[in-house]
A and B are shown apart, each in its own frame.
Chain A
Amino acid sequence: MSGTIVFVDHDGDAFNPNSLGALAKASTLGGDVAAFVAGSGLDDGWAAGLGAYGAGRVLVADDPAFEGGLPQPIVDALEPHAREADQIVFGAGVVSADVAAGLAARLRAGIHCETTELTVGDGGLTAVRPALGDTVMVESGFSQGPAIALARANAFPADPIGEGSAEVERISATVQDWSRAAKMVGREEAESGGVDIAEADVLVAFGRGIGGPENIPVVEQLAKALGGTVAATRAVVDAGWCSYNLQVGQTGKTVSPKLYVAAGVSGAIQHKVGMVNSGVIVAINKDANAPIFEFADLGVVGDALTVVPKLAEAIAARRG
């Protein structure tokens, strides 16, 4: 096919919102738009629902090889269809990025990462991304197709654009032995219950800059004084300081509280995309070059462990 294929990642029945956003965006490019889903035991009606996000057709690869969502078998299934497309668009996501990259290698295709805008003109697909710590916008085209675009997290809203139901086409796939050599052997689900940081009006986030998990109570104190709750960066969650459900960013929650205080958080892109739409952003960090100062409304260059407890005291005193 000519036109656009959008890879739609899903976890069980839940579509990845970043994939839905990419699909909705792709539907504005003109031409045919086909969504591509891979999994095991997929329901046609569920797949057809992608019509509401702009898919005219949904290519469904349904095989036990796709159980668990590992990327390499998906590349095998997607490759023959992608070869015929003008462009293949991916929302942000761990599996999506792996599939996009594997596909680019397979097709010898140009791949554009961190995409925040897409248009199609006479010269084919044009993609835009912020680069170098978001200090510059880079616009790229493709010398030859197919073109692959991987979106930045939350770049395109996952809003339904209609009520259409897409035509479902089941496709067969040949999965290579080496593609199925990696196996999913277990999963640690995010803990449920507790606070939902996405609902909080005030968040006080901490990163590695607070030194160690023993200092989390200091941050909690400030959160309490402000009437909010604590959140965390991926680095400290991966390091086991706190549970995954407190994580803000690309693979964590997307939040937009009225006030976001970042203590000892460097402000890496993966974190930024999950909180940049917060009302007021206050950053406290020792490193004057930390990227978070580029987008904080108030940047305090100083030791978070010194500033945070004093700030907690001052706020608590003010509230009486």
Chain B
Amino acid sequence: MNIAVCVKEVPSATAARRLDPSTHRLDRSGDSELNPFDVHGLEEAIRIRESGQQVDEIVAVCMGPETAHRPLQKALALGADRAVLLSDPLLAGSDISGTAYALSAVLEAQNADLVILGQQAADADCYVMAAAVADHLRRPLVTQVASLEVADGKVRAKRQTEHGYDVIEAPLPTVISVSDAINEPRLPSIKAIMGAKKKPTDRVTAADSGIDASRVGEDGARSVVRSVSPPPQKQDGVRLEDSGGDSVEQIVQFLAEKGVV
């Protein structure tokens, strides 16, 4: 069985995040990292291999700028055997539909029996990529998977909805997105970080992947940002730094002033 895990480069949690006022695109000049939600997808792929399933290859697939090779190195250190980076100036400014189309074109070439995505990207907070990719690949879909078993050529997955938990089975090949509660990802060892440098990264362009340029990039985008503005002002909250519980008096006072104790 081959597993493809989709990963994305996102701004670091600690970096200042902003939209470029002229292009309305995410400013990617600051520190970036591997989307933390995707780390759960990689961890789950490794666990499937460790569970005794024959996993021939785990490939990390990324669409992004050249700088995305850095988070891909982390994906390799975490346990992917190989990485694919789809990077092309033609793709810059793609909307969700364009991204799903381009990513699917690359995934199509990987012959993966199981495609795993994180539930969302930390920068966009949408939960839609897995379902769009599944539609392009014409494969079954289970999203928001909180626990997963892979056996006998199928997946059995539990997902949370507004009503509780559904248990869904789907035959391979299939597409899933995983909840960030599905596992506790391990940290890569120094040895794995060093070893990652020897693992291959294939760089592919839009043309290499047979992507129709009219469907991607800013010109191909059907959803277009028109303006960016500050959110409605909210009164700043009070901030306390606690050390060993020394803020308790102030918390009680605050609650008393608000009339809630």
Task: Point out residues on A near B: beta carbons under 8 Å.
Answer: 11, 16, 68, 70-72, 75, 93-95, 97-106, 108-114, 126, 130-144, 147, 150, 176, 178, 181-190, 202, 226, 234-239, 244, 251, 258-259, 269, 279-282, 284, 289, 293, 295-303, 306-307, 310-311, 314-315, 318-319
Contact = CB atoms under 8 A, between A and B. Distances in A.
Contacts of A187: 163-167
Contacts of A238: 146, 160, 179, 181-182
Contact of A259 (B140, B230, B260): B260
B132 A104 contact: yes
B243 A302 contact: yes
Interface string B223-259: 1111111110010011111111101110110110010
A315 B252 contact: yes
A136 B252 CA distance: 33
B141 A307 contact: no
A172 B191 CA distance: 58
B204 interface: no
Contacts of A109: 97, 222
A244 B160 contact: yes
B14 interface: yes
B138 to A, nearest CB: 5
Contacts of A103: 135
Interface string B78-105: 0000000000000000011100110010
B238 A75 contact: no
B35 interface: no
Contact of B241 (A98, A289, A302, A311): A302
Given A11-B163, A258-B260, A138 B131 contact: no
Given A94-B159, A297-B237, A302 B247 contact: yes
Contacts of B224: 110, 140-143
Contact of A108 (B161, B174, B222): B222
A114 B161 CA distance: 17
22 contacts: A70-B168, A71-B141, A94-B160, A102-B132, A104-B96, A104-B100, A108-B215, A111-B96, A132-B19, A140-B223, A185-B156, A185-B169, A186-B166, A289-B13, A296-B237, A299-B238, A302-B243, A306-B242, A311-B252, A314-B248, A315-B252, A318-B261
The bracket for how many chain B residues form the interface is 35 or more
A99 B130 CA distance: 11
B128 A111 contact: yes
A182 B141 contact: yes
A26 to B, nearest CB: 18
B240 A104 contact: no
Contacts of A237: 160, 181
B260 A280 contact: yes
Contacts of A113: 96, 124-128
A319 B260 CA distance: 12
A184 B163 CA distance: 14
Interface in B111-142: 123-136, 138-142
B165 A310 contact: no
